[in-house]
């Protein structure tokens, strides 16, 4: 049983504060641009061919010549799914008949690409129909199905239109038939369909979806030779993945026995999200314990300060406990989005501040950093240090680019960012009976099934007062107090409030017209890593509120490497500058600059000159061209 | 024209001081153990099959059944060559009839494995004779020939026996026939034969060897498509190396145009060594300039403090300027040996202290660290930081082992170390006419072709007085003053001496019975890296004399990560402890220990407790089991 659950998408409407402006950016820039990409009309971007793939698949099914065939990654279809999901969310916020018509047309193309038995995947419809379901390791058929199920749920919830939902119900039934009724062995090489089937189940109540999700989770890692045997049975491959690398795709052990977060980080958190959702749905204590163990493995030993995960580009993967190099980090945008999914589902099991803390950390830092401030370029990889000349250039740093590209051949991150930002309300607010939960501070209006409505006014993450007004109903308001705010003040109707504090949430009884004001600590602060992290011993990072800051060359004479922060030195938040980086607050820090020597090594104590170092929020980095960037700074007395 | 040149191997005899004890260790432990390995009689070591390969090749040539065929790397023959070379050197120091007989027998096997046309390589004699010279990219035929030529020269010089030299003269003539007379295209994928042909030329005066070395150097990188075209012409491969990766094997440009040290570090320095040797031999100014540029590229921007080179395990290669990560370093033992070769040849062009400094840095740190103190185990990779739990375990650190293995499938480093240590006199002393050069402090007796003889007494690198006695002849003595010694005192016959100082060398006129005493600075000192090295900003390393020190868990409560050195704090050399790590001097440093937090991240300023940190010489690390090790330490006021 879930102790609370996400509110529906249409129960939150942002205002024009920080999150609302991001949603508008997605609507105005990202969604149209990404549609151009899907249609191969975006100049200078990698070829996508996604729409053409659906058209060609439809032709193939009708026995027509499938035009220029299939192009792209084996999971190319998922770009359309994620775009549609983002559109669905966006339509609930910004109704747009033209966009809806465009989406309907794409959905029609998708529907026409569905085979009569319910199968849907352009890669194995345009060609290689005999290869369907023969390469679960690499084929991404279940992955693509999962994303399209998510899009179908979202589009139905947003518009009431069930065209895509019916397509995906039929598709789910097809998968059920294959894997349950026909007892086909195996489970997906890339988890995603499990969490999507849970969403389908939540929306439709179809127990086949629940059963199928549970099936895929239950059999994962039981037959450790499944992928190897599957590989032996076929004479083709996608990339030639190592079927014996069971850690990469989390099939090294049954999910309930897994202890450490390992392998491909996106696969991992998508899997854990489904596990957490199922565990609270079915009250599966063993599964809940596994989720909690994996959560602790990530957040206590394998997560970057920015909420990034994946310490290496080799396999886009977790490595070992406390191995968190900044310059060669992977920290894929999608992985932090998936970490938010996981956190949000964990919150449904147990309302604990740490889950909301991690959601906030991942969102305001890695997820937002994944997109240029103008919404036009995207990072896939989000390192905590960037040194032009080495980053993006040395073979060990080739994945750590120094500038955001426009689009990627493997374009999972940009549409993932679009759907996450457009649906932020589901992560920000939750509900259970009389209680309305505020996990993240999200300005706008939220309504709850118990009849409560509230408005939230805040200029967070730059303003630190959040004002809730109960505009309808009454009940309990539960608000997460971020762990970084050691001090806070809560006023109800202007007076100090009575509240209880439990596990990082304050609980207050409220009634219509009540105002609840929460003021958090706006003092910039320094963060330290445990000395168990070899790469961070002696380093410090500057933060304010949920924002991790970084030092860029652009603000620091093009040289951040020779800067050291003064230990315990003053940190000063400058006034909000609406013209800087779409509006931001810089922090100045007492620092010293070490003399840069020509010699590679010297025995001369390098002179240190006191100076002021300037930091900007990490999410705003690399918006002024290629330059040095560093989050963790050496510290000196 | 060389301004000075290496003395012959038999012109130096070590005493029982530091270097002499290492030579004895090679004689007593390494040479016998390695012979067992070559004969597959060493328990617990990787299979070698080297001797069997020669036996089987001989059988194949005689039309007999070649037994169990060929086994091992394509360059397996070179292990025998390097062992023979080490034996040759060792025999000049420690005459040993039994060992010499063993070597003679191996040489006989090698001679019998030579084809009638002079070809010598067991891999392409036991099998695949039609594949000879068809894969210069990967086949290592010229590489193996080069090592055997070096062995032949060394063995002739040591014993006067010319059996192997004649074999290799015939082999060189065969190669000359193929590549010069028959004009076969191409150059070696792994440089080595070039420097070996120069050695053959120095010894025999055979101008075909000079011509051939010059030919291979001159055509390298001219036809940038050579390896690709070669690949197209054959239907087999060794590993499937990328023939288009011209940086890996330094064929991206003609050698005279190369600017940065790139690619596989061992290949690079072997190539540069031959270039330097040829340049001074032929007074090729353009080539000299190229050598100087490449030297500066390495030593000013791409070399570790330990004299290690190769910043990544991916391709065992150089990366980019100032990219010098400690924990993921490659720093192959062979690469530092090759760097000493290069430095020694550069010294023949121009007597400058920096060349001797780098030889010393590479030798006393990386080369010696490559071998366990008992001579029984070897590192291939020499990182500057080792963290059990991450090192050797994380995919990014898989090459950085936490303990020395006994032997390797690719066993280039152990025999390379053996031959280097056994021939250290050639690097330590040089000569030209009236001048005797002392590049490294090497206790023992050295004689020069001008009739001068000297004895050198020192307990360097732990004692800092070096006493030379001129035991015969007279002339000029040129002694390198290491750059780390800012202060030094020179006495001739007990009185302050008259000398000139030029480019890091002191020059004194000496005559028979003179004593020259040089006292260097024995104060421990701290080294800093340029702030251009991202990984080292705010870090400091402790050194004394030529020795870089490191901090091991074994001396520091099993936790070096939470230690920071006090900036400008005192460093104290403890008395020499003959029982510690084969006899060493520990350095204690004023330090602080940071509180280790359970939390991965905390905003609480970590408490710091003053403490004393204990350092040992880097070359002695990992002789007390697996534990943490760190060279560069965070520094705090």
Q: Which residue of B has its CA nearest to A529?
A: B601
Yes or no, beta carbons of A528 and B561 under 8 Å apart: no
Whether residue A636 and residue B636 make contact (CB cut-off 8 A), yes or no, is: yes
B609/chain A closest Cα distance in angstroms: 14
pTM of the model: 0.95
Binary contact (A531, B597; C-beta < 8 A): yes
CB of A311 less than 8 A from some CB of B? yes
Task: Among B299, B393, B600, select the one facing A301 at the smallest CB separation.
Answer: B600
Torsion of CA B316, B321, B323, B329, to 10 degrees: 30
In the predicted model, residues of chain A with pLDDT beneath 70 are: 407-412
Q: Is residue A11 classed as helix, strand or coil in its secondary structure?
A: helix
Q: Which residues of chain B lie closer than 8 angstroms to A629, CB-CB?
A: none
Rounded Cα distance between B342 and B297, Å, is 13
HEC letters along B32-98: HHHHHHHCCCCCCCCCCCHHHHHHHHHHHHCCCCCCCCCCCCCCCHHHHHHHHHHHHHHHHHCCCHH
How far apart are alpha carbons B455 and B446 in whole angstroms? 6
Residue of chain A with shortest Cα separation from B299: A600
B1 touches chain A (CB under 8 A): no
Rounded to two decimals, the ipTM of the complex is 0.95
User: What DSSP string runs through B292-320?
Assistant: HHHHHHHHHHSB-TTS-B-SBTTTTB--S
Contact A531 B389 (CB under 8 A): no
Distance of CA A570 to the CA centre of its chain: 33
Judged by DSSP in three states, B357 sits in: helix
Q: pLDDT tens across B463-493, in order?
A: 999 999 999 999 999 999 999 998 999 999 9
In whole angstroms, what is the distance from residue B592 CA to residue B233 CA? 63
Residues of B in contact with A354 (CB under 8 A): none
Give the helix/strand (H/E) hosting A272: helix A265-282
Bridge-based pairing state of the strands B633-636 and B563-566 = parallel
User: Tokens 């652009």 — which residue?
Assistant: A554
Tell me the DSSP string of A529-568: E-TTSGGGTTEEEEEETTEEEEEEGGGTTT--TTEEEETT
A181 burial (CB, 10 Å; 0-12 / 13-18 / 19+) is exposed
* pLDDT reported for residue A47: 85
DSSP B389: T
CA–CA dist B426, B442 (Å, integer): 10
Instruction: Note whether A519 and A464 are within 8 A (CB).
Output: yes
Q: Please indicate whether, in this complex, the C-beta atoms of B528 and A323 are within 8 angstroms of each other.
A: no
Tell me the β-bridge partners of B431: B5, B436
CB B417 within 8 A of CB B349: no
B397 touches chain A (CB under 8 A): yes
CA-based R_g, chain B, Å:
24
Least confident window among A568-582, B394-408, B431-445:
B394-408
Q: Assess contact for A586 and A616: CB atoms under 8 A.
A: yes
Q: Please answer yes or no on whether B602 and A395 come within 8 Å at the CB atom.
A: no
For the record, the structure tokens of B399 come out as 């090459």
> Scanning every residue of chain B, which has its alpha carbon at the shortest distance from the alpha carbon of A316?
B395
Distance CA B122, CA B110 (A): 9
Instruction: Please tell me which residue of chain A has the smallest CA distance to B565.
Output: A538
C-beta atoms of A319 and B394 within 8 A:
yes
pLDDT-derived band at B44 (thresholds 50, 70, 90) equals: confident
Read off the pLDDT band of B415 (50, 70, 90).
Answer: confident
Nearest-by-CA chain A residue for B634: A538
Instruction: List, in sequence order, every residue forming a beta bridge with B543; answer none if it has no partner.
Output: B525, B548
Sequence length of chain A is 637
Percent of chain A with pLDDT over 90: 94
Q: Which tens digit of pLDDT belongs to each residue from A613-629?
A: 999 999 999 999 999 99
For residue range B209-227, list pLDDT tens digits in order: 999 999 999 999 999 999 9
* B325, B395, B599 ranked by CB distance to A530: nearest: B599
Q: If we measure between CA atoms, which residue out of B289, B292, B334 comes closest to residue B309?
A: B334
Give the whole-angstrom CA distance, residue A325 versus residue A302.
11
In chain A, % helix, strand, coil (3-state, to 5) comes to 40, 20, 40
The answer to whether B487 faces chain A, any CB pair under 8 Å, is: no
Distances B244 to B137, B240, B241 between C-alpha atoms, Å: 10, 11, 9
| CA nearest to A365, candidates A301, A287, A275, A461 | A461
Hey, are the CB atoms on A597 and B397 less than 8 Å from each other?
A: no
* Tokens of residue A376, six digits: 């036009």
A184 contacts chain B (CB < 8 A):
no
Residue B229's contacts (CB-CB under 8 Å, 6 or more residues apart) are none
pLDDT at B413 over 90: no
Residue B406 is predicted with a pLDDT of 77
Q: Residue B262 in 3-state DSSP?
A: coil
Distance CA A233, CA A231 (A): 5
A543: Cβ contacts below 8 Å, ≥ 6 apart: A305, A484, A524, A525, A526, A527, A549, B603
Assess whether B230 carries a catalytic annotation: no
Looking at the DSSP bridge assignments, the partners of residue A11 are none
Tell me which residue has tokens 């379901």. A133
Pairwise CA distance, residues B157 & B151, whole Å = 10
Between CA B606 and CA A538 the distance in angstroms is: 10
All residues of chain A having their beta carbon less than 8 Å from the beta carbon of residue B545 are none
Task: Report pLDDT for B411.
Answer: 67
Q: Tell me, yes or no, if B385 comes closer than 8 A to chain A by beta carbon.
A: yes
DSSP labels, B270-281: HHHHHHHHHHHH
Burial class of B253 by CB neighbour count within 10 A (0 to 12, 13 to 18, 19+)? middle
Rounded to 5 degrees, φ, ψ at A201 are -65, -45
Distance CA A355, CA B162 (A): 77
Other C-beta atoms closer than 10 Å to the C-beta of B610 total 10
Residue B376 to residues B12, B25, B153, B380, B604, Cα–Cα distance (Å): 26, 10, 27, 13, 47
Catalytic residues of A: 316, 412
Rounded to whole angstroms, the Cα distance separating B171 from B117 reads: 8
Active-site annotation holder among B214, B281, B316, B431 = B316
Listed residue (B161, B623, B176) closest to B375, CA to CA: B623
Asked if the Cβ–Cβ distance from B528 to A602 is below 8 Å, we say yes
**Which pLDDT tens digit goes with each residue over A433-465?**
999 999 999 999 999 999 999 999 999 999 999
Say if residues B628 and B553 touch (Cβ distance below 8 Å).
yes
- Round to whole Å and give the CA distance between A104 and A98: 10
Q: Which of B306, B343, B404 is nearest to B30 (CA)?
A: B404
Place of tokens 């809806």: A100
Cα(A279)–Cα(A211) distance, integer angstroms: 13
Q: H-helix or E-strand containing A146? A: helix A141-159
Q: Which of B278, B542, B491 lies closest to B384, judged by CA?
A: B542
User: Which residues on chain B are in Cβ contact (under 8 Å) with A525?
Assistant: 603
Residue in A241, A332, A324, A531 with CA at minimum distance from that of residue B396: A324
pLDDT surpasses 90 at B53: yes
Question: Would an 8 Å CB–CB cutoff place B128 in contact with chain A?
Answer: no
Measured between its terminal Cα atoms, the distance across chain B in Å is 52
User: What is the DSSP code (8-state) at residue A497?
Assistant: P
To the nearest whole Å, the CA of B476 is away from the closest chain A CA by: 31
Task: State which residue of chain A sits closest to B297, comparing Cα positions.
Answer: A600
């Amino acid at each position: 049983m879930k102790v609370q659950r996400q509110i529906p998408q249409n129960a939150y409407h942002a205002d024009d504060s920080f999150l609302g402006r991001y949603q508008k950016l997605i609507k105005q820039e990202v969604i149209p641009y990404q549609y151009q990409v899907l249609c191969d009309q975006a100049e200078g971007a990698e070829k996508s061919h996604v729409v053409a793939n659906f058209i060609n698949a439809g032709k193939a099914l009708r026995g027509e010549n499938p035009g220029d065939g299939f192009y792209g990654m084996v999971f190319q279809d998922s770009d359309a799914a994620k775009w549609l999901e983002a559109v669905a969310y966006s339509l609930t916020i910004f109704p747009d008949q033209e966009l809806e018509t465009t989406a309907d047309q794409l959905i029609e193309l998708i529907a026409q690409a569905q085979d009569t038995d319910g199968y849907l995947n352009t890669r194995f419809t345009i060609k290689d129909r005999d290869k369907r379901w023969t390469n679960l390791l690499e084929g991404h058929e279940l992955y693509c199905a999962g994303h399209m199920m998510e899009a179908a749920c979202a589009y139905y919830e947003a518009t009431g239109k069930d065209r895509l939902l019916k397509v995906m119900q039929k598709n789910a039934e097809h998968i059920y038939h294959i894997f349950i009724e026909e007892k086909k062995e195996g489970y997906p090489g890339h988890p995603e369909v499990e969490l999507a089937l849970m969403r389908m189940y939540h929306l439709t109540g179809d127990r086949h979806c629940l059963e199928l999700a549970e099936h895929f989770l239950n059999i994962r890692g039981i037959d450790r030779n499944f992928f190897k045997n599957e590989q032996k049975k076929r004479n083709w491959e996608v990339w030639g993945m190592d079927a014996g690398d069971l850690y990469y795709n989390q099939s090294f052990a049954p999910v309930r026995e897994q202890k450490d977060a390992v392998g491909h980080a996106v696969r991992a958190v998508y899997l854990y999200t489904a596990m957490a959702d199922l565990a609270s749905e079915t009250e599966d204590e063993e599964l809940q314990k596994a989720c909690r163990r994996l959560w602790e493995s990530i957040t206590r030993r394998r997560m970057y300060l920015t909420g990034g995960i994946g310490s290496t580009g080799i396999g886009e993967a977790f490595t070992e406990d406390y191995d968190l190099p900044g310059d060669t980090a992977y920290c894929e945008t999608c992985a932090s989005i998936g970490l938010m999914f996981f956190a949000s589902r964990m919150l449904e099991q147990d309302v604990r501040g740490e889950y909301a803390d991690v959601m906030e950390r991942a969102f305001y830092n890695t997820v937002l950093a994944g997109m240029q401030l103008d919404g036009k370029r995207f990072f896939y990889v989000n390192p905590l240090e960037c040194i032009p000349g080495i980053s993006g250039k040395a073979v060990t740093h080739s994945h750590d680019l120094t500038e955001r590209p426009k689009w990627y051949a493997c374009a999972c991150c940009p549409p993932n960012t679009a759907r996450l930002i457009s649906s932020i309300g589901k992560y920000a607010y939750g509900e259970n009976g009389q209680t309305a939960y505020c996990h993240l501070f999200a300005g706008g209006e939220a309504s709850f099934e118990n009849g409560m409505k509230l408005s939230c006014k805040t200029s967070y993450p730059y303003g630190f007062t959040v004002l809730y007004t109960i505009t309808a109903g009454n009940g309990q308001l539960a608000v997460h107090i971020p762990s970084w705010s050691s001090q806070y003040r809560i006023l109800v109707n202007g007076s100090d409030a009575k509240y209880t504090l439990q596990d990082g949430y304050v609980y207050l009884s409220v009634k219509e017209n009540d105002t609840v004001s929460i003021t958090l600590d706006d003092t910039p602060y320094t963060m330290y890593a445990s000395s168990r992290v070899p790469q961070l011993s002696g380093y410090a990072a500057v933060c304010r509120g949920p924002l991790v800051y970084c030092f860029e060359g652009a603000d620091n004479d093009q040289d951040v490497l020779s800067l050291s922060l003064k230990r315990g030195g003053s940190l000063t938040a400058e006034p909000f500058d609406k013209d800087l980086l779409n509006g931001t607050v810089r922090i100045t820090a007492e620092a010293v600059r070490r003399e840069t020597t020509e010699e590679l090594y010297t025995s001369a104590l390098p002179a240190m000159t006191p100076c002021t170092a300037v930091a900007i929020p990490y999410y705003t980095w690399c918006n002024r061209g290629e330059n040095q960037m560093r989050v963790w700074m050496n510290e000196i007395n």
